[in-house]
Structure 1
Amino acid sequence: MNNPHTSFPGVIGTTAAESTPWWETPPAAGCPRPNVVMVILDDTGWSDFGCFGSEISTPVIDSLAAEGVRYSNFHVTPLCSPTRASLLTGRNHHSVGMRFLADTDTGFPNSRGAIRADVPMLPGILRSEGYGTYLVGKWHLAPLHEVTPAGPFRNWPLARGFDRYYGFMDGCTDQYEPELYEDNHQVPIPDTPGYHLSEDLVDKAGAYLRDHVAFRSGDPFYLQLAMGATHAPFQAPREFIDKYLDTFTKGWDATRRERLERQIELGVSPVGTVLTERVEGVAAWDELDDDQRTVFSALQAAFAGFLEHTDTQLGRLLGTLRELGAYENTIVMVMSDNGASPEGGPGGDVDTNAPYSGVRRTAAELIPLLGDLGTLTGGAHYPTGWAMAGNTPFRRYKQFVDLGGVRSPLVVSWPAGNVAAGSVSRDFIHAIDVAPTLLELAGITAPEPMDGASAAGTLHAEGTGRPTQYWEMMGHRALWHEGWRAVTRHLPGEPYASDEWRLYDTAADFAEATDLSAEHPERLAAMRDLWWEAARENAIFPLDDRPLHEAIGVRGPVGLYADRQIVLRPGQGHVPLSSSVTGSNRDIDLTAHLGADSSRVTGVLLHSGNAQGGYLLRLEAGHLVFEHSMLRDHLVLVAPSPLEATARRAGFRLRAHPDGSGEVELVDGVLVVASARLARTSAHLSFWGLDVAHVPVSTFSAAELGNLEAGLLEKIVIDVHPAADDNREYADAILASE
């Protein structure tokens, strides 16, 4: 029999008196490793912080910049999942299996929707070296079909190196009614008056840090605070929004000009920087009508209020660090995961569920709704023109490899680190450099291989930077090499060889405003060759420019969305929105299996969504009732007679039409007892999923929705009838929700 204690450094005798104990020696005091707080904002543009030229008030982030370093040449990927993968691995995102979104596995090694299991991740490395590791907020590094109450949990935060986790697993969420998880289980929304997710995340982060300092005072900590802000829906207390209602009436063109002027004054943009041209499809502000200017400036005010509210919460977190005596030796990083988002479309909306459902409402339709901005039912998204302004002075935005998609603001503060306070670093840095930088600052040898390199010297004004870096996203490609950058925008279905590449001298042209490809064809050709070399080295192949719904259509037979019959039961966990089975966009037959006489029963059988919209099936004094609501278009369909005492099957049939409308029939047994037309159906009726036999959040229904008495409902069976283009709305919702 093997002795499991052969490596024990002490002595094991027959008795304790004959033995010598041994304890591991605690780390030596006197040179403590730094703590790390990595703050990742979502869809925040390069120019949106005050210290990067914005008129939006961000005094907390600005104070960190004043005592730390601003990076004006820091780069990420154009989408959130690959950026987070690069930050946490020090590796290029294709090579670790995160080509684009974590939402799905497309069947190729470079796009598995999760980071490869054999790749070490920063929190795990730090934990093995004695750090306490905590994640609060957004994850979005697990395929969405794995985000269920039952897992599997192999790609959840605790499995990838974090000691504790609290937040949301999807790409975005509602700020007032989020789908929350702690460690490996779902948790209800805290019953807090005036609840807001950003405030809750900072509260939880503070609680984790207080526990850490109380129980592990000798160990450093790594806290990753991944805010839902400023990803749509834009939601914040109204007082934060109202102060900006007049600020942006000047429009996005004037905002861009004024931001660039301030950037030059602040030193984050060099003297002589010029604005790139207005993005195609974005109208000049002066060409808009009065209604458009009124609505569009208010939608940007909602974004600004959301960002200022987030900055206020960061101030509370820094206060906690000071209270715990940890502030001086904590490296605080604040960044964005990609550029500002164009996903609000040309007109934005007071309710993000509209653009996420492909609905474009006019400004005249939105004016009566402006009073809802910032609320549960007024989670806004701005028009594309404001995304352009958010990325001043650069071209384009999220999803593209132009600088508007991949240049991120980065602020780093470390009071005890003797950093070059108030300085601006123009060294080329990429997300893959963050992990090796933090490991060097912690005195930890980075595991091999990492694609990134430490940029620790930039904290002390010692110039460093990588010579070469590539980008690729949905066929769009770019390469930076020794101060020059080559960029191409790819059109789906076109040969890659026919793509038109642009070339920029970034040393002389900070904004990449002047294409020099005609003047330097040989340099451009060499850079294109370098891009293909990088593609071979980083598992970029196969290049995939297929429309998203086609890519998702080959994701494999996984998750509830692939099931042709879904069975749900009372007492089970919440079905999250990320399952993509909680909308009204698919043809389904839903049958409630009743276990007792329900002829006089009142209660909810099934409820999908919340006050923003959704659908439900309920009983009202034995009458079967179906309700559906999308963008306040509300249908109530009631069976004319109550169920028979012997009825044990009841439900509805829903058929979604290609034009976005639908039909619904109430079914008692096998008989159709009522029918109606649905003006609109959608995969994205709200940001809340589906619950069986109870309603844990708000509701769109005007009825009093009591929980169903135990024992009346045995199960809900949903039979799915997939259409030829069934994946299209699912894909549109996935892309929007990133």
Structure 2
Amino acid sequence: MTDFPGKIGRTVDESTPWWPGAADSLPPNIVTILFDDTGWADFGCFGSEIRTPHIDALAGDGLRFNSFHVTPLCSPTRACLLTGKNHHHVGMRCLADTDTGFPNGRGTVRSDVPLLPELLRDQGFGTYMVGKWHLTPAQEVTPAGPHKNWPVSRGFDRYYGFLGGCTDHYTPELIQDNHSIDPPETEDYHLSEDLADRAITYLRDHTAFRRTSPFFLNLCFGATHAPIQVAKEFIDPYVPVFEKGWDQTREDRLARQKEMGLVPQDTDLVPRNPEVPDWDSLDADARRLYTRLQAAYAGFLEHSDVQIGRLVAELKRLDLFDNTIILVMSDNGASREGGDHGAVDCNAPYSGMPESVAEQIKRIDDIGGPNGPAHYPQGWAMAGNTPFRRYKQFVELGGVRSPLVVSWPLGLDAQGGGIRDQFLHAIDVAPTLLDIIGQRDAAPFDGASFRSALTDADTQAPRNTQYWEMFGRRAVYHDGWKAVSEHDKGDDYAADTWRLYDTRSDFSECHDLAAAHPDRLAALQDIWWQEAEANEVMPLDDRTLEDILVFRQPNGLMSQQSITFYSGQGHVPQISMVTATERSMDITAALVPRYGGAEGVLVSSGDDLGGYSLYIKEGALHFEHVWSRTRIIVSAALPEVFQTCGVRISVAGDKTAVATLVADGIELESGSIPRVSGHTSFWGLDVGRDAARQVSQAYTGPNAFPDEALDKVNITFRSPIDHAHLAATGVACE
């Protein structure tokens, strides 16, 4: 042992012991706060009407970066942030739900690429994560794993949150470390509050037991991704604020951005996105509905800001704030996935059945509550991305420009309230944080450190080149110039139209200079191909997200024709794609004969907004199916002696179905289901109980069937996977 500072003799008397001492000073603690689908202009300190006083306070004492970039989708951005590498380069071309069959699109970060928490843990940091992960392939999100791509296996000491792309904020599918747990049964529960509670608990534990070690906390809200859910008191104040509509909101936000000095005074507002109507052309009901949906979004964001305030207050109480660097950002631009009209209940469009204004206006007061998991229409996404063009999923600035706020009282040298304009990308975050703690060369990165920008407003950007690619759409930045391609599925890449912008004089990328500078455009196109080769972007793939989800190889539970579940087992998550009713199937429960007369839920899926429950009550078998506020109940008396019972669901081509109750193979009773769907709710399936918001009103609580009386439940699918239907569902949920 050559690195032991003491002395080892033949005996302890001839030896000198040694213990590592505490460091003279600690590197800063690190807190990264990531929002989901939040637009560049949605924070108050970035020009919004939305109240975000706690984020604004961090900016007021810290820095705002007005040229920070991400990828157009959540999983790729999260991969960039945690690896310091471009997303194609590490295997996350698209989403964690997809495997395209090529190295750049495996739907997971390559195992040989270390993540930021792994690198920090090697330096003695405690590493904690709460919130959305979305870096685990869908087939690995099961109670049995495999857990190799779960947070605790990728460097985090503790984890609490959800693994998929989105979840219900009142009844989330929660994971703690490596196992699923039921959502807390507390009155007025909300996931954002729960995440803040858990983050604060991790801070307290770390401070109590590891005070001499720094920590890394990664807080990733489910907000502001749909479903938009928040209490009415957060929604109501914003209704009069947004009655002015999205066109005026864009103008007002740009004016405030100029007033703040956040954008150059000559910044132009890009034209309205062509698919968005003029606000004044809408009828009264549409304006009323769309206004309240945006008010809910605003309240959702303000509510999240309140949780940040709680976290910051705790950092101050624990005397940790001054030496903690905090970064607040978004994973991509605001999302147009609410479509033309938005949704009072986003389960409808997520099921491929968007509702009209006339259908939704009757339920306007449900928005944001337990019966109104909402989404705003795409016109408000356009406003969220002011002054830029387009949205999430696109490589224009509306998809890839993110707000970035940095706070670090001990490290910013009284630079409070400053604005930085250096070109940055998500891949620059990990190198910067490691540079700050003296470990700049901890791993090979595609990004570079912008540490100097924290104290020097005039320092050069860390890099001068960055590419983007998503669904065949391409863009590249180099030395202040930006080229962006127009591309639709099936187009010849060689025939793509490219636009050219001088970003030094055109902050919003409003004025196309391609015709005036063809040689410069050609040079940028060459640079794009060079970057693409270096970062494993090929093969270019212009299939839509829906196409890719259709194409993905069936794996995990969705690839099985017959699945057997057992009483007392873990929760089957919604992302497994076997928890809904879009396929013909037989659900059969096998009971233990000596426990005749037992009652309770045999199997349930979803909740009271959408799902099904098969249960025994008062000697009868009951099947309830709920979707889009339509409930059907089929009931039949059970024979005195039976060993199996269940339901046979037969789906027709028009997505209607017949549910037939069966005992020991004998048909008992049938009923019609007016509509089945691949997405009934955000809650998956449970065996022997109804664990979330109960599907049926015939019982209260989980109504568990006795474990000792239920042997197993088998689901056998009698029709193949409808890949197109499941893909459409998957797209909506991303």
- Band of TM-score, shorter chain: over 0.9
1:142 has 2:136 as partner: yes
Check if 1:650 corresponds to 2:641. Answer: no
Matches within 5 A, 1:623-634: 623-634=620-631
- Please identify, of 92-101 and 518-527, the stretch whose mean Cα deviation from structure 2 is larger: 518-527
Q: Is this contact kept in 1: 2:568–2:707, CA < 8 A? A: no
* Kept after mapping to 2: 8 A contact 1:597/1:646: no
Matched, 1:616 2:610: no
Q: Partners in 2 of 1:110 and 1:733 — Cα distance?
A: 24
Cross-structure match for 1:464: 460
- 8 Å contact kept, 1:180–1:187: yes
1:697 to 692, 698, 707: 692
Q: Report the Cα distance in structure 1 between the residues aligned to 2:404 and 2:115, rounded to whole angstroms.
A: 21
Matches within 5 A, 1:326-725: 326-417=320-411, 418=413, 420-460=415-455, 461-465=457-461, 466-596=463-593, 600-639=597-636, 642-704=637-699, 706-723=703-720
Q: Deviation per CA, 1:612-637: give whole Å up to 9, x if none.
A: 21111112223221111112111111
Map residues 226-245 of structure 1 onto 2, 5 A cutoff: 226-245=220-239
**AA matched with 2:267:** T
Deviation digits for residues 493-550 of structure 1, max 9, x if unmatched? 2221222111111111111112221222221111111111111110111122224454
* CA drift at 1:158: 1.2
Alignment of 1:22-421 (within 5 A): 22-29=18-25, 32-417=26-411, 418=413, 420-421=415-416
Tell me the secondary structure at the aligned position of residue 321 of structure 2.
coil
Deviation per residue, 1:464-510 (Å, 9 max, x gap): 22211000111111111111111123211222122211111111111
Counterpart contact for 2:158–2:177, Cα < 8 Å:
yes
2:531 and 2:657 map into 1 onto residues whose CA distance is: 48
Q: TM-score, normalised by structure 1?
A: 0.96
After superposition, what is the alpha-carbon deviation per residue over 1:681-709, rounded to whole angstroms, capped at 9, x for unaligned? 22221111110111222123221152213
Tell me which amino acid in the other structure corresponds to 2:618.
Answer: A
CA distance 1:428–1:658, shift in 2 (3 Å): farther
Structure 1 range deviating more: 673-682 or 470-479: 673-682
- Amino acid of the structure 2 residue aligned with 1:556: Q
Supply the distance in 1 between the matched residues of 2:696 and 2:215 (Cα, whole angstroms). Answer: 46
Match of 1:736 in 2: 732
Whole-angstrom distance in 2 between the partners of 1:448 and 1:703: 58
1:246 corresponds to which letter in structure 2?
P
Q: Determine the C-alpha separation between the residues in 2 that align with 1:698 and 1:426.
A: 47
* Secondary structure of the structure 2 residue equivalent to 1:194: coil
TM-score, normalised by the number of residues in structure 2: 0.96
Alignment partners' CA distance in 1, 2:406 and 2:2: 46
Aligned partners of 1:457 and 1:118: how far apart in 2? Answer: 29
The one-character-per-residue Cα deviations of 1:164-196 (angstroms, maximum 9, x if unpaired) are 111111111111111111111112222322111
SS in 2 for 1:415: coil
Distance 2:332 2:546 in 1: 22
Q: Secondary structure at the match of 1:72?
A: strand
Q: How far is 1:555 from its partner?
A: 3.4
Deviates more, 1:374-383 or 1:14-23: 14-23
Shift of 1:41: 0.5
Q: 1:12: how far off?
A: 4.5
**Deviations 1:565-618, CA, capped at 9 Å, x for gaps:** 111110000101111111111222211112227875431111101122111111
Percent identity, aligned pairs only, is: 54
How far apart are 1:6 and its partner, in Å?
A: 7.5
Question: Secondary structure, in 3 states, of the residue corresponding to 1:416?
Answer: coil
- Name the CA distance, whole Å, in 2 between partners of 1:716 and 1:506: 60
Amino acid at match of 1:26: A
CA distance in 2, matches of 1:630, 1:497: 46
Residues 191-239 of structure 1, C-alpha deviations (whole Å, 9 max, x = no match) = 3221111111111111111111111111111111101111111111211
Report the secondary structure of 2:533's partner residue. Answer: helix
C-alpha separation between the residues in 2 aligned to 1:500 and 1:85?
A: 29
Question: Aligned letter for 1:699?
Answer: Q
How many positions carry a matched residue from both structures? 729
Runs of 5+ consecutive residues of structure 2 not aligned to the other structure: none
| Cα pair 2:229 2:373 within 8 Å, conserved | yes
Q: Deviations over 1:657-680 (max 9, x none)?
A: 443333322223323333333222
Could you tell me how far 1:18 is from its partner in structure 2? 4.2
Write the distance in 2 (CA, Å) between the matches of 1:378 and 1:273: 38
Q: Secondary structure at the match of 1:449?
A: coil
C-alpha distance in structure 2 between counterparts of 1:652 and 1:597, whole Å: 22
Indicate the RMSD between aligned Cα atoms, in angstroms: 1.7
Whether contact under 8 Å (1:599, 1:621) holds in the other structure is no
Shift of 1:103: 1.4
| Kept in 1: contact 2:604–2:695 (CA 8 A) | no
